[in-house]
Amino acid sequence: MTQIINNSIFALMKPNILQTPIDYLKGVGPSRAQLLRTELGIHTFQDLINLFPNRYIDKTRYYKIYELRPTSAEVQIVGKIVHLKTVEQKRGKRLVATFVDDTGQMELVWFRGHKWIRENLKLNTPYVIFGKTKYYNGYSMPHPEMELLSTHQQSLRITMQPVYPSTEKLSNKGVTNRVISKMMEALFTETQVKFMETLPVGILSDLHLISKSEAMFNVHFPKNQELLAKAQYRLKFEELFYIQLQLLIKKLVRKQKIKGFPFTEVGSYFNNFYSHHLPFELTNAQKRVIKEIRNDLGTSAQMNRLLQGDVGSGKTIVGLMAMLLAIDNGFQACIMAPTAILATQHFQGIQELVQDLDINVKLLMGSTTTKERRQIHEELEQGSLHILVGTHALLEDKVQFHNLGLAIIDEQHRFGVAQRAKLWHKNTYPPHILVMTATPIPRTLAMSVYGDLDISVIDELPPGRKSIKTVHRYDSNRLKVFKFIADEIKKGRQIYIVYPLIQESEAMDYKDLMDGYESIARYFPPPDYQISIVHGQMKPADKDYEMERFVKGQTQIMVATTVIEVGVNVPNASVMIIESAERFGLSQLHQLRGRVGRGAEQSYCILMTGHKLSEDSKTRLQTMVATNDGFEIAEVDLKLRGPGDIMGTQQSGVLNLKIADVVKDNEILKTARYYALQILKEDPALEKEQHAIVRYTYTQLGKHKNIWNYIS
């Protein structure tokens, strides 16, 4: 959620107070205000109030010195300083105070700031100290947080101390957590903040939620764990509820207002292909998804559907059948892919499938010649070109359709929002949109990011597909792995060996690839073996030539970087070896594994690593060995990487939440979506009196240009 939206939701109250520039808050001033603006994006009182703590230090307990244990735990003690001394040491000096309570004594130690500390400390006066204890010939606490007991008792912050987000620059300039806490206190005290309620009475009583004002106060100044939990739940629910409400309203509006072309005919192209040219029996999942698409296309509302399917689940054939429906109804269709390799693969696959159907299919890419382009443009505008397959080249202004009825976007997260929107403007009416992805998206994420799309899932693989066996091997087992490769090649199989490519260090990656290639070439010498090599520094024509040799079976081993992650379909390739597998993300490992297992033979994926592995790397490798299920893998990936990383930069904005977390707060998200759905079923226009608060809050959100309007 964007900063602007959060401001609207979390601070619906006397707007004039909260719009006050942060410079005017007690204890801030111009230089601190500038730091807060640049480092944390805090411009106004409202921004500060919406800076929620990352965690809390529980100060509900006061320890006695005799209760201390050598655990280096953070503790809070009430006592007095009875003696101060300066101790010489090898480098500089340290200031040591003897601190006592009625059960014993300990030392407080400072290694810097002696003069200021000595001047400000009061002997024999009750203090509350807080910090980590150390044990060496007795207990000590270095650089404790200190507060006079009298001040501590008057403070708003009594027991649970919030820890706010910060940066290194803020800390270096003295804007510590303590300073931010003081600012928050000043803000609540100065403004006597009262928040307008943003949720209807029905939801508040159903879920036993505390009021908005209580929640805002207790999230910053919780008296105990129980009140903090109630405050957090309330604010997380509210944040997720309004995201879901906005996505669901967008979906309703789209279905009512954005008209599409109704494809009422299921004609000869579709029926002929289904009855006579299908290369295999469709799975039940494919049949179900085709039915969902047909239902969408049969109405006058524009289709906006996300088709998810694991690697090799048969999404392309579903997309083709949707395109045949468009052609049956007198419309054109297009399919846009992120890379030339993938676009070419789609083109060749579709052309082969429809070769007996009198359908004109063309391919448009950056490398298409001027002469070919001219012909494509003419046929498109005349309407004699039925299906256009291509890359970003489809978005050029010169590409004008006669009547585009269906646009399919493959691996859409690789396209920017503005790029995708261009397809809409190729017609008077926007075409039906089918978005395909082979990167399974966890349900939680789909609900948050694609909540305004209808979602179809192909959740079974075609029959006869054998599950890929995945193993993890260390570099020390390399000779055994090479022997296994030789045995597979004897059986007539082909092998992929993939090296990581990390952009920051292309030179190093290139070296890894070339070193690997040389050691493989030594073990598998010509003329007995032929090896292809493909990497990002090659000219496109050379890359295509090497790929072509491998596809035709002229080479047995393909040594490559991740350029083969999408787009190479070689049914005879049965082994995928991933070098330095710990350097890959889970979804990338899963995509690479999907390059094998496309034929009838048993396929294998071997993950090669060194012995030094981080905990996350171990989890990724164990997950890959344990399951072939892309959705299961995506759930683990979401937990490891977080939602922003998975969606890529284009869509991470929607997940820039202030207090909720779509992974950890999965259950709250489901509850929020359920209540948003119930309200819209009962009152789609939010006209009823009991929903006046929801309508008002929602209208406030609508005044801001926010990222949700640009998703999908």
The pLDDT confidence band at residue 565, using thresholds 50, 70 and 90, is low
At residue 18, what is the residue type? Answer: L
- Look-up of token digits 């579903």: 318
Q: Which residue has the higher pLDDT, 636 or 106?
A: 106
Say if residue 426 is in the same domain as residue 290.
yes
Residue 147 lies in a domain: yes
The pLDDT confidence band at residue 648, using thresholds 50, 70 and 90, is very low
Say if residue 286 is in the same domain as residue 424.
yes
- Averaged pLDDT for residues 97-114: 93
Say if residue 483 is in the same domain as residue 613.
yes
Residue 678 lies in a domain: no
Residue 385: is its pLDDT beyond 90?
yes
- What's the pLDDT at 619? 93
The pLDDT confidence band at residue 656, using thresholds 50, 70 and 90, is low
Say if residue 426 is in the same domain as residue 522.
no
- DSSP H stretches of helix in 408-556: 417-424, 443-449, 478-490, 506-523, 540-551
Of 395, 418, 437, the position where a domain reaches its end is: 437
**CATH code of 136's domain:** 2.40.50.140
Which of the listed ranges 54-63, 350-359, 560-569 does the model predict with the highest average pLDDT? 350-359
The pLDDT confidence band at residue 21, using thresholds 50, 70 and 90, is very high
Say if residue 374 is in the same domain as residue 518.
no
CA distance linking residue 463 with residue 479, whole number of Å: 35
Q: What percent of the chain has pLDDT over 90?
A: 47
Contacts of 276 (CB under 8 A, 6+ apart): none
- Look-up of token digits 């710990």: 582
Residue 529 lies in a domain: yes
Strand partners, 470: 605
Residue 370 lies in a domain: yes
Say if residue 283 is in the same domain as residue 428.
yes
Residue 157: is its pLDDT beyond 70?
no
Range with lowest mean pLDDT among 251-255, 398-402, 482-486: 251-255
Residue 30 lies in a domain: no
pTM of the model: 0.68
The pLDDT confidence band at residue 515, using thresholds 50, 70 and 90, is confident
Contacts of 134 (CB under 8 A, 6+ apart): 72, 140, 141, 142
Measured at the CA of 569, the angle between CA 547 and CA 586, to 5 degrees, comes to 100
- Averaged pLDDT for residues 275-304: 91
The pLDDT tens digits for 175-232 are 988 899 999 999 998 877 778 899 999 999 999 999 999 999 999 998 887 889 899 9
The pLDDT tens digits for 472-489 are 999 999 999 999 999 999
Residue 180 lies in a domain: no
- Look-up of token digits 């959705």: 631
Of 158, 185, 216, the position where a domain reaches its end is: 158
Residue 417: is its pLDDT beyond 70?
no
Residue 256 lies in a domain: no
What is the DSSP code (8-state) at residue 429? S
CA distance linking residue 404 with residue 261, whole number of Å: 10
Say if residue 483 is in the same domain as residue 373.
no
Alpha-carbon dihedral of residues 295, 298, 299, 304, nearest 10 degrees? Answer: 60
**CATH code of 409's domain:** 3.40.50.300
335: containing domain: 268-297+314-437
* Three-state DSSP state, 507: helix
- String of DSSP letters for 630-645: HHHHHHHHHHHH-HHH
- What's the pLDDT at 422? 72
Say if residue 82 is in the same domain as residue 127.
yes
Say if residue 419 is in the same domain as residue 522.
no
- String of DSSP letters for 291-309: HHHHHHHTSSBPPEEEEEE
Residue 682 lies in a domain: no
Helix (H) or strand (E) holding 407: strand 404-410
Say if residue 507 is in the same domain as residue 419.
no
Mean of the per-residue pLDDT values for the chain?
A: 85
- What's the pLDDT at 686? 92
Say if residue 273 is in the same domain as residue 386.
yes
Say if residue 277 is in the same domain as residue 134.
no
685 — alpha (psi -120 to 50), left (phi > 0) or beta? Answer: alpha
The tally of domains found in the chain comes to: 3
- Look-up of token digits 């999908």: 712
Of 389, 422, 437, the position where a domain reaches its end is: 437
Cα–Cα distances (Å) from 166 to 50, 54, 159, 163, 175, in that order, read 14, 10, 21, 9, 9
- What's the pLDDT at 638? 80
